[in-house]
Structure 1
């Protein structure tokens, strides 16, 4: 029998979502509670230990603009090729960008 190709949401993400030794362990509370303002530029850096509000791994490493808040998560607008997309991301998976 031939093994069938997986079709899950996390396929082909083994290296992308893995952490090095220094990043492993408990997640800091300030990472959970960080807040962003509307108009802030943020980098999407997925933390594979937290599954709530996790975007698809194709958005890992992208930069977008916060356009609103939905519950505990943030709405982030970014471009995917020619299209603009809005994704809903938990603040654990976001980092504030240094530029405006």
Structure 2
């Protein structure tokens, strides 16, 4: 009997699947050049082709608030039930709430 995997990205094959026109590794520059300010609401939308600064899969599709900056990454706070979570997410994995799709 083979044990089920317990890795960081297990069960993400469908969750992280990209549209056929999105494939190709390089994200669009318009999404990378967006400057986020403290207090901006963002949606966590994980880009599976970029592994650095990738949050856990449980946060994919969730909405958070930008709290600050750390290096190239943004500090995003969100609530998971009544527990406040702090994530360090690079701009490849977040989108403004108005453009998110």
TM-score w.r.t. the length of structure 2 is: 0.90
Partners of 2:87 and 2:20 in 1: how far apart? 29
Q: Which runs of 5 or more residues in structure 2 are unaligned? A: none
Q: Which runs of 5 or more residues in structure 1 are unaligned? A: none
Aligned residues: 97
Alignment of 1:5-84 (within 5 A): 5-25=4-24, 26-84=26-84
1:32 Cα offset (Å): 2.9
Partners of 2:72 and 2:34 in 1: how far apart? 11
Deviations 1:56-79 (A, max 9, x none): 010000000000000000000000
TM-score w.r.t. the length of structure 1 is: 0.91
Deviations 1:14-65 (A, max 9, x none): 1001112121123223333322000000000000000010000100000000
Partners of 1:40 and 1:61 in 2: how far apart? 16
Whichever structure has more helix as a proportion of its residues is 1
